[in-house]
Copies of this chain bind each other. A is one copy, B any other.
Amino acid sequence: MKAQSVREQLLDHTFALIRRRGFNGFSYRDLADLVGVKTSSIHYYFPCKEDLALEATKQYTAKIAEELSHIDPALSPVERAELYLNGWRRKLDPDQICMCGMLATETECLPEAVHAVLKDFFLLHERLLTGMIEQARAEGAPAQPIPASELAMVIFGALQSGLISARLFRSPERWEAAAQMLLAAVGKPAGASASAAPLPAEAAAG
C-alpha cells in the first residue's frame, strides 16, 4: 500500500468529482477538503482549473488505454468483447459515470486541448470495437445491417449513455442492453451468461 503523493490524490479525487458532478460541479475547496490540503496547494500543482481538467483527462485516458492494451488481439472477438465489457462493468457505479462521457457534455466550458484528448478517448474505443466486429464478420458472424465502424460508434455511444441512464434509473438495464448488442455483433450465441466466462474461440454462428 504505497502512500500516494498529494498530486496523485488530487487527480484521483478529481476523477471521482468529475464523474459524479461534472467539471462545473465541484470547486477547489471541495477537492482540497477531500485531500486534506489548502486550496492554494492545488494551485501549486495546477495553476488554474483548466490545467487540472486537462491533466485529469490525459491521465484518465492513458489509464484506460493501458487497460485496453491488455486485451490480447490474438483472442477471439467474443473473448475480447467480454474482456472489454468487464472493464466497463467496474465503472458501473450507482453515482458515477465515465469521466470522458461527462466531460464530453461540458465541451462548451472546456478548452480545445481537452477536446483533443476526449476525441482520442472516443476514437480509441471505436477503433477497438471496429476491429472486433470486423474480425467477427470475417469469421462468419451474422451480418449486421450497417458497416462495422458505424456499428462500433452506435455501441460505444449506447454504452456511454448506458452508464448515464444506469445512474438515473438506478438500474444497469440500458447499459446491459448495449453490452448484449456488442456480444451479438461479435457472434456470441444468445443465452450464454454475460459474465467473463472465457469461451473457446470460433464461436461464430451461421
Binding site for B on A (CB under 8 A): 20-22, 24-25, 95, 97, 101-102, 104-109, 115, 118-119, 122, 142, 144-146, 150-151, 153-162, 164-165, 167-169, 173-174, 177-178, 180-181, 184-185, 190
CA distance A71 to B161 in the complex (A): 25
Residues of B with C-beta under 8 A to A106 = 21-22, 25
Q: Who on chain B is nearest to A143 by CB?
A: B142
Shortest Cβ distance from residue A181 to the other chain B in the assembled complex, whole angstroms: 5
A interface majority secondary structure = helix
Shortest Cβ distance from residue A201 to the other chain B in the assembled complex, whole angstroms: 20
Q: Who on chain B is nearest to A177 by CB?
A: B150
Residues of B with C-beta under 8 A to A168 = 104, 107, 115, 118-119, 122
- Report whether A162 and B173 are in contact in the complex, using a CB–CB cutoff of 8 Å: no
CA distance A167 to B160 in the complex (A): 16
- Report whether A142 and B145 are in contact in the complex, using a CB–CB cutoff of 8 Å: yes
